[in-house]
Amino acid sequence: MNYLAIDTSGKNLTVIIKKEEKTFIFHDDKCGVSHSVELMPRVEELAKSADFDFNSADFFACVVGAGSFTGIRIGVATVKAMCFAFNKPCLSVTSFDTLAYNEDGQVLAVIDAKHNGFYVCGYLDKKVCFEPAYLMREKVIELAKDYKIVSFEEIDGFDVKVVSIPQGLINAIEKKQDEITSNLDRLEPLYVRKSQAEEGR
């Protein structure tokens, strides 16, 4: 199996290339808002080090959110362009998948959306049992009584297991291959709430 996957949904930038039995990873957890500048150079560098031919890819994968609105759009647009250019199918992975697929059992994937708000999604044995939502801290505290919380970082006030973004993305791709599709319309951002600009209208 050969693929290229990217995650620009948060302050991290992750690029993964799977070439036959070898996996190549670039991960920067402090990319911030520089995805538009950093993404393609990192993709090209990793492809060169892996001696990866984009034409050999079986599919391209992208983390579609929840997370940074701008980062999500950059990732989705880039992967759609690759799929179109090389005539390859796509695979959508959510930010919640990359968290939850690190752990077994009943887990709550939590992403800090700042200002006391959080993106959350509940899983039971890697199947969604609580749909993605944007919740304030009090609601998350109440919900978390029934779950193990997983996140990419420590969150004040919560007992969190910090998990690996690259490994979670790899695990999710391995488990979600039946969702690979040639319909590029299926590759679309997951916006759990409106952007600040939309909320201000």
DSSP 91-108: EEE-HHHHHHTT--SEEE
pLDDT at 193: 82
Q: Give the pLDDT band of residue 197 (cuts 50, 70, 90).
A: very low
pLDDT at position 195, please?
Answer: 55
Local structure of 56: helix, strand or coil: helix
Mean pLDDT, all residues of the chain: 94
Local confidence band at 200 (pLDDT 50, 70, 90 cut-offs): very low
Place of tokens 């997951």: 190
pTM here is 0.94
What span, in angstroms and rounded, lies between the C-alpha atoms of 82 and 167?
A: 23
- Summarised one tens digit per residue, pLDDT across range 71-111 is 999 999 999 999 999 999 999 999 999 999 999 999 999 99
The answer to whether domain 2-94+165-199 and domain 96-162 are alike in fold is yes
Q: How far apart are CA 120 and CA 22, in angstroms?
A: 32
Please give the CATH architecture assigned to the domain spanning 96-162. 2-Layer Sandwich (3.30)
User: Stretch 177-195: mean pLDDT, rounded?
Assistant: 91
Alpha helix ranges (H) inside the chain? 35-50, 69-86, 95-100, 137-143, 165-175, 196-199
CA distance 130 to 64: 18
Beta bridge partner(s), residue 59: 3
Q: How far apart are CA 109 and CA 174, in angstroms?
A: 19
Q: What's domain 2-94+165-199's architecture?
A: 2-Layer Sandwich (3.30)
- What are the extents of the domains in the chain? 2-94+165-199, 96-162
- Which pLDDT band holds residue 194 (cuts at 50, 70, 90)? low
Structure confidence at residue 33 (pLDDT): 82
CA distance 42 to 46: 6
- The single residue listed with the structure tokens 């968290």 is 99
Q: Considering only CA atoms, which of 16, 8, 64 is closest in space to residue 36?
A: 8
Lowest mean pLDDT among 17-21, 124-128, 195-199: 195-199
Is pLDDT above 70 for 143? yes
The percentage of the chain sitting over the pLDDT mark of 70, rounded to a whole number, equals: 96
Q: DSSP for 141-198? A: HHHGGGSEEEESS--TTS-EEE--HHHHHHHHHHH-GGG-BS-GGG-----SS--HHH
pLDDT value at position 152? Answer: 94
Comparing C-alpha atoms, which of 90, 184, 192 is closest to residue 133?
192
